Amino acid sequence: MSDLKPSTPLISPSISRRLPDFKQSVKLKYVKLGYHYLITHGMYLFLSPLVVVIAAQLSTFSFQDLHALWEHLKFNLISVFLCSTLLVFLSTFYFLTRPRAVYLVNFSCYKPEDVRKCTRQRFMELSVFTGSFTPENLDFQRKIVERSGLGESTYLPEAVLTVPPNPCMAEARKEAETVMFGAIDELLAKTSLKPKDIGILIVNCSLFNPTPSLSAVVINHYKLRGNIISYNLGGMGCSAGLISIDLAKDLLQAHPNTYALVISMENITLNWYFGDERSMLVSNCLFRMGGAAILLSNKRSDRWRSKYQLVHTVRTHKGSDDKCFSCVTQLEDPKGEIGVALSKDLMAVAGDALKTNITTLGPLVLPMSEQLLFFTTLVAKKLLKMKIKPYIPDFKLAFEHFCIHAGGRAVLDELEKNLQLSDWHIEPSRMTLYRFGNTSSSSLWYELAYLEAKGRIKWGDRTWQIAFGSGFKCNSAVWKALRTINPAKETNPWMAEIDQFPVEVPRVSAI
């Protein structure tokens, strides 16, 4: 949400909510879930010390010791046979049951043409020219934009920039094809991949779901193979990009030696709101044109050329709660205009979903020292009934980089405070919001592209992507860098202007 002054609130100050303080209650069941995931992969933890001990013991053997062992084994063929059989069985079981590694070969973010740029002043002029908004709501939009954190170079589709606007199916298809094909063409050029090599295709776009589907549009345009496994995800909000990544990960476990193409985007043309409900007007002020294409692989031979390896995905869904379910809803206003309404409870719901998500993720990623401190204080509070605040782990010890969905300035402010992040950690999200606006599910990839353009990604670095979506959902993905990214060899939307960033974004920038 935009950060409004009390004089011009989106909702009444008496009922407004902020993200809850994560130092409050922690639900034990989510801690257990995280440890369940950890124990599921506990074989690695138990085998590693055993291998080290055996290697250390063997290093002390002399040649005479090895000769004596050989002489002993020659007369114990049954023992040798049983041990060998057991070793072969365990090795086979290990290699057949361990999950396939999922690599991010490369990704691309679509950068629209300069003619699509929309300054904040032009946005206000377009709002006036439509003749759809009252003077009071025009003033409301102006105040939203002034506090939104958006800069002067965000993009809108042609249908919205036209006077009068031309929101129709043809223009919506044109926008979708422009974004998807632009991102895919760049990705194919980066990876030298042939379209026929793609075995899995996943497209996510929440508010535009034509027939044939967007995935079918991609298949038709690039003449993808007939047995491709394709999915088209709709209505899943700004976190649909990470849901697509999680789905691709699962599919890559079942289909060996396969490439998966994930396309994350949103469509503005048919979802521009022309009514006077303030809860629906905010999306006009924040959402902008953009999209990303990501290529994943489970081929071991692709490890050498891939940028990242997917380490964890954690999905949290709070849809069973009515308040969470209805906090972001597409509906008609009293005049019949369709828009996306944002509830007064959105910030509180987002905070609760994030708390659940990081409580589950923590045991998977935090160093043992942080886990012990967290576990000790949790036991003292839950079992010993001591009146102490739960220990909030330092996630900066688990991750070098953070890509937080650039949904709005206020959300970034609250997450920066509650996760105890520095300006440097939140910089990719703030600059993405400033330069490209809220591009929905693709914003995480503009943020990762920013980190690459700045030359911050080093070998072994861990990056945490966090996204929120309607329903209500909070999803996380953890990536490990497989190599140091050299900005001089990169092609992404930031490269031509990266030296201009970061910039100072005032809390209120008058139009």
Report how far residue 266's alpha carbon sits from residue 283's, in angstroms, rounded to the nearest whole number.
12
- Bridge partners, 313 (sequence order): 477
CB 450 within 8 Å of CB 502: no
Given strand 229-233, what is the order of strands in its sheet? 229-233, 198-204, 259-265, 291-297, 103-109, 308-317, 473-481, 462-469, 401-404
Instruction: Please report how the helices 368-382 and 346-365 are oriented relative to each other, as an axis angle in degrees rounded to 10.
Output: 120
Question: How many helices, marked H, and strands, marked E, lie in the chain?
Answer: 17, 13
What string of DSSP letters covers 30-64? HHHHHHHHHHHTHHHHHHHHHHHHHHHHHHT--HH
- Which single residue is written with the structure tokens 């044939």? 212
Q: Which helix (H) or strand (E) holds 469?
A: strand 462-469
How far are the Cα atoms of 4, 77, 180, 289 from residue 110, in angstroms, in the given order? 30, 65, 8, 9
What are 307's two structure tokens? 């940028």
State the Cα angle at 345 between 343 and 349, rounded to 5°: 120
- Which single residue is written with the structure tokens 């004089």? 7
Report how far residue 367's alpha carbon sits from residue 375's, in angstroms, rounded to the nearest whole number.
12
| Active-site residue set | 238, 317, 401, 405, 438
